[in-house]
Structure 1
Amino acid sequence: MNDTALLSNDTQQVAQSLKVFVKSAFVENEDAKKGIAYYEGKNDIVDNKIYYYDDNGTLKEDKNASNIKIPHRFMTEIVDQKVQYLLSNDLKVEVDSENNTTSGLQEQLDKYYNAQFKQVLQDLLTNASTKGFEYLYAQVNNNDQIQFIVADGLKITPLTDDKGNVIKLLRYWQENLLINSKKQIVNHVEIYDNNTVTYYVAVGNDNYNLDTSLKPNPRPHVISLSSDDEPEISGRSLGTIPFYRFQNNNSEETDLQPIKALIDDYDIMNAYMSNNLQDMAEAIYVFNGDMDISTSEMKQNIKAKKAVITGTSENSFDLKTYDIPVEARTRKMEIDRQNIYKFGMAVDSLQVGDGNITNVVIMSRYELLNMKANKLETRLMALLDWVNQLVISDINRRLGSTYTTDMVTFEVERSMLINEQDKANIAKIEADTKSVAVQTLISIAPYVDNTTLVNKIAELFDVDVGTVIENMRTQEYGNDGAGINTAD
């Protein structure tokens, strides 16, 4: 977001602009709110109401009608499936062990890329999938070591120049405090740049001012106090804005948006089928005869007493039943379910198929999930590059070392279900094929030179032919009773 006044170095000028800016910048993000709600199982169906028109044409809520509300948590499954597919296995952080200058680096990296960091990554990807984006924040812990936490992206906004470059970043948050025996909302704003952070505060609807309770203000990203009687404040900067905006995709669309209408339709089909079963569990009593009764009363009789009175001249009594279109609604729910997983680019765990579940079939079912994961993994690697720059810089600061970021590589190993029997059968076929090939080579050994024979065997078993020849210099290899040596 662009606001020239907020880019100023004059703290008073910034303070005067904050009140209007905060109100305009932090409006409700409806798509993000819906994504969070559906992830938590709070689908629109929970607010469903049933209405009818009375005799006067007035729309009223029908409180006697069954109104079963069953939210289906497709969003939770689809988001968690994607995140766990990427991160269920350990994130591999490896160092070039053949490089002598990397000695001790792996041990240091393990202190940063630990179980806590991996949990942060899972939370970050989950939040980004539900909101469309999320922020990762770099802070320094009590051990003077940098660590990373997830920061609520709905309370953070970038400040850009005319060219769209992020110059500063603004974080907004509130707290309830007791001031002069009265509870009041205290608004906080933090503005970060590459070197400093400035804190502003406003009580209630007052204008913002510098937070005088924090000294110094502005201050470096990291400050420390000496333990002397007269503490001295010192600090350092991270050299970059310590926030990274992680996008779920280029348009920052949530995982809910492509499938929300389908989930809503599935919920409605399911809920109204349950309502019909509940309301029509008993037969309707039909009385034929002249009686003074209004349409509204008749409707309530149907719903509450399962009875209706008609205005025919002949009095009679009858029982009526109602055929619920269960098959049609069930089929519609099946179609919705298929489309939810298709357009949600996920794997339907209930998909059965024809029973021939080979690994080829399994991989085909993961095709859409792979496509979605590929896009997210690219963004994850860009995030890890940013993280690694801060980590390597922090290690060098603490140890006085000269490690570089290109010494570290990251690998994400995905996990999918496989058919172990199918895998074993394939392995057996490969082993049998190699066995036949070996027997064939043995049979033709007397008719070919040793070099050709060794090259073919090395190619068959995917070993280094140079290593094989070197071993042959010191050890005789038997081949159908005939010795093989290096002499042609």
Structure 2
Amino acid sequence: MNKGKAWLHVYYDENGQLSFKKIPTEEIVPLWRDADHTQLDAVIRVYEVEAYEGTQKKIITKVEFWDTTGVRRYVLDNTAGLIPDVEAGESGSHFVVVQGEQEQPLNWECVPFICFKYNDEELPLVQVIKSLVDDYDAKTSDNANNLEDLPNSIYVIRNYDGTDLGEFRRNLSVYRAVKVTDEGGLDTKNIEINVEAHKSHIEQLRKDIYEFGRGVDTQSDKFGNSPSGIALKFLYADLDMDANIMETEFQASLEQLLWFVNVHLANIGAGDFTNEQVEFVFNRDILINETDAVTNIRNSVGILSEETLVAQHPWVTDVKLEMDRLKKQREMEYGGLPPEGGANGGEENEEDE
């Protein structure tokens, strides 16, 4: 959300375990194969490391070029430009398989970098609301300056019998008086602040920031006192829309991540899972009206299964654990048997008769 997109690097650590590392977005220059930015041809990574020459610390800029044939490493020199990185190795493979005493370099069939996008335009949230936030900050700052200057009204002096304004301010502060000549005098001009106009503008800016940023304004009048579930859904509608867009982009990225996992499992002999169906579920938490939720659950008894009703209860975090608790509670109350007269008591038994 802060940078529009983020990058995940797939690699094997020192112990041979499949690992993932977040790479700062500003370090990555992607070379896309298509206009929709779905397939990578290569990735250029530019980053800085600290090094020491004796006791003097210096910053070294390193450049890596990743594609399906491996990685090439360079050091950016101010005078010579790009030179091969001899220390880290001029080139290498994505990973190395060790069999006995032999090492076999191997590469993924895809560039081992995965892009996670905030939206399909790859634009950060700040780009949408930056101008509004800057205006909000500027108006608030100007108003704070005016309030600070308000007690020290502007002084208009005529025929001042002194040398400079510093002396005037000192005399006014110490003696609470100022000396003038002939037809001289002292007037004050107060700073007029249009409070209502400033307040209206600030409130409108705040609404626009939440509107364009698709956020939830907790100070909105819509919250009120114990709003209904429908009102809360409308309040979270913009945020939910933003989450839908992010989820759509993340689903595609997770599919790419799953490809690396499946290939890894096949490489280590765990099996071929490429044809297995995998579903990525994004759980969302929003404020709800618990009274409405519990009432709807109670009204659904007999229509839905007990496990479904328990899963929808706002106080339940672990459905399986809660079902086990209910089972144990019934065993303690009825000795493992249903209540006398059936599940709904004696009346149902009498009607059956």
TM-score category of the 2 structures, normalised to the smaller one: 0.7 to 0.9
Which of 119, 133, 142 is matched with 1:263 structurally? 133
User: Distance in 2 between the 1:347 and 1:162 partners?
Assistant: 36
Identify the range of structure 1 (248-257 vs 362-371) with the bigger mean alpha-carbon deviation: 248-257
Which residue of 2 is the match for residue 327 of structure 1? Answer: 196
Kindly state the Cα deviation for residue 234 of structure 1 after the two structures are TM-superposed: 2.7
Which residue of 2 is the match for residue 412 of structure 1? Answer: 282
Residue type of the partner of 1:404?
Answer: T
TM-score (norm 2): 0.73
User: Distance in 2 between the 1:181 and 1:290 partners?
Assistant: 64
User: Distance in 2 between the 1:259 and 1:313 partners?
Assistant: 58
User: Distance in 2 between the 1:399 and 1:331 partners?
Assistant: 67
Does residue 1:365 correspond to 2:239, yes or no?
A: no
Distance 1:331 1:151, change over 3 A: same
Distance 1:207 1:268, change over 3 A: closer
Distance 1:211 1:326, change over 3 A: same
Structure with greater contact order relative to length (CA < 8 Å, sep ≥ 6) = 1
What secondary structure is seen at the aligned counterpart in 1 of 2:126? coil
What secondary structure is seen at the aligned counterpart in 1 of 2:268? helix
Residue type of the partner of 1:210?
Answer: P
Native 8 Å contact 1:159 1:167 kept in 2: yes
Which of 95, 105, 111 is matched with 1:222 structurally? 95
User: Distance in 1 between the 2:76 and 2:157 partners?
Assistant: 70
* RMSD over equivalenced CA pairs, Å: 3.7
Which residue of 2 is the match for residue 136 of structure 1? Answer: 8
Which residue of 2 is the match for residue 177 of structure 1? Answer: 51
Residue type of the partner of 2:14?
Answer: N
Does residue 1:314 correspond to 2:183, yes or no?
A: yes
Kindly state the Cα deviation for residue 402 of structure 1 after the two structures are TM-superposed: 2.1
Distance 1:416 1:293, change over 3 A: farther
User: Distance in 2 between the 1:225 and 1:210 partners?
Assistant: 26
Which residue of 2 is the match for residue 402 of structure 1? Answer: 272
Which of 104, 109, 123 is matched with 1:239 structurally? 109
User: Distance in 2 between the 1:168 and 1:370 partners?
Assistant: 34
Native 8 Å contact 1:135 1:151 kept in 2: yes
Kindly state the Cα deviation for residue 240 of structure 1 after the two structures are TM-superposed: 1.2
Residue type of the partner of 1:137?
Answer: H
Kindly state the Cα deviation for residue 275 of structure 1 after the two structures are TM-superposed: 0.9
Native 8 Å contact 1:346 1:369 kept in 2: yes
User: Distance in 1 between the 2:253 and 2:228 partners?
Assistant: 36
Residue type of the partner of 2:5?
Answer: F
User: Distance in 2 between the 1:227 and 1:282 partners?
Assistant: 84
1:267-282, aligned counterparts within 5 Å?
267-282=137-152
Kindly state the Cα deviation for residue 192 of structure 1 after the two structures are TM-superposed: 1.3
Unaligned runs of 5+ in 2: 306-341
Kindly state the Cα deviation for residue 147 of structure 1 after the two structures are TM-superposed: 1.6
User: Distance in 1 between the 2:100 and 2:293 partners?
Assistant: 63
User: Distance in 2 between the 1:213 and 1:319 partners?
Assistant: 73
User: Distance in 2 between the 1:411 and 1:162 partners?
Assistant: 28
User: Distance in 2 between the 1:277 and 1:140 partners?
Assistant: 60
Unaligned runs of 5+ in 1: 1-128, 435-459, 464-475
Native 8 Å contact 1:223 1:233 kept in 2: yes
Distance 1:162 1:405, change over 3 A: closer
Distance 1:169 1:272, change over 3 A: same
User: Distance in 2 between the 1:212 and 1:318 partners?
Assistant: 77
User: Distance in 1 between the 2:162 and 2:76 partners?
Assistant: 67
What secondary structure is seen at the aligned counterpart in 2 of 1:131? coil
Which residue of 2 is the match for residue 383 of structure 1? Answer: 253
Residue type of the partner of 1:334?
Answer: E
Kindly state the Cα deviation for residue 144 of structure 1 after the two structures are TM-superposed: 1.5
Native 8 Å contact 1:273 1:326 kept in 2: no
Identify the range of structure 1 (192-201 vs 370-379) with the bigger mean alpha-carbon deviation: 192-201
Native 8 Å contact 1:156 1:171 kept in 2: yes
Which of 176, 186, 208 is matched with 2:60 structurally? 186
1:286-325, aligned counterparts within 5 Å?
286-289=156-159, 314-318=183-187, 320-325=189-194
What secondary structure is seen at the aligned counterpart in 2 of 1:208? strand
Does residue 1:422 correspond to 2:292, yes or no?
A: yes
Distance 1:288 1:424, change over 3 A: farther
User: Distance in 1 between the 2:239 and 2:33 partners?
Assistant: 38
Aligned residue-pair number: 308
Kindly state the Cα deviation for residue 226 of structure 1 after the two structures are TM-superposed: 7.3
Which of 205, 208, 213 is matched with 1:344 structurally? 213
What secondary structure is seen at the aligned counterpart in 1 of 2:219? coil
Native 8 Å contact 1:184 1:203 kept in 2: no
Kindly state the Cα deviation for residue 183 of structure 1 after the two structures are TM-superposed: 5.3
User: Distance in 2 between the 1:375 and 1:158 partners?
Assistant: 22
Kindly state the Cα deviation for residue 291 of structure 1 after the two structures are TM-superposed: 5.9
Which residue of 1 is the match for residue 303 of structure 2? Answer: 461
Which residue of 2 is the match for residue 30 of structure 1? Answer: none
Native 8 Å contact 2:46 2:61 kept in 1: yes
Residue type of the partner of 2:203?
Answer: E
Kindly state the Cα deviation for residue 149 of structure 1 after the two structures are TM-superposed: 1.4
Task: Judging by fraction of residues, say which structure has more strand.
Answer: 2
User: Distance in 2 between the 1:198 and 1:278 partners?
Assistant: 59
User: Distance in 2 between the 1:337 and 1:405 partners?
Assistant: 49
Residue type of the partner of 1:461?
Answer: I
Native 8 Å contact 2:226 2:289 kept in 1: no
The CA deviation string for residues 351-399 of structure 1, in whole angstroms up to 9 with x for no partner, is 2335461111111011111111111100111111111111122123224
The CA deviation string for residues 435-469 of structure 1, in whole angstroms up to 9 with x for no partner, is xxxxxxxxxxxxxxxxxxxxxxxxx6246xxxxxx
Kindly state the Cα deviation for residue 244 of structure 1 after the two structures are TM-superposed: 1.4
Aligned-pair identity (%): 25
Residue type of the partner of 1:336?
Answer: L
Which of 143, 148, 156 is matched with 2:20 structurally? 148
What secondary structure is seen at the aligned counterpart in 2 of 1:253? coil
Residue type of the partner of 2:303?
Answer: F
Distance 1:326 1:352, change over 3 A: same
